[in-house]
């Protein structure tokens, strides 16, 4: 599954999800790199339509 994470206060990355951690972090693969960070919250289409 394609997942976006926050890697620092000014940086994010998107890649294939590899692992979920117990503390809420997610590990993704971006090319040959492996990155871990906090997942970006997904906005539900129904919630967006209500706005």
- 15-26 tens-digit pLDDT: 999 999 999 999
Q: Look at residue 41 in the predicted model and tell me its pLDDT.
A: 86
Q: Look at residue 16 in the predicted model and tell me its pLDDT.
A: 97
Lookup result for tokens 């503390």: 23
Domain boundaries in the chain?
2-50
- 34-50 tens-digit pLDDT: 999 999 987 665 655 55
Provide the whole-model pTM: 0.77
Residue 2 clears pLDDT 70, i.e. is over it: yes
Residue 7 clears pLDDT 70, i.e. is over it: yes
């Amino acid at each position: 599954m394609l997942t976006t994470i926050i890697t620092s206060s000014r940086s994010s990355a998107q890649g294939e999800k590899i692992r979920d951690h117990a503390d809420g972090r997610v590990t993704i693969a971006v090319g040959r790199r492996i990155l871990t960070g906090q997942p970006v919250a997904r906005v539900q289409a129904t919630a967006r339509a209500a706005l």
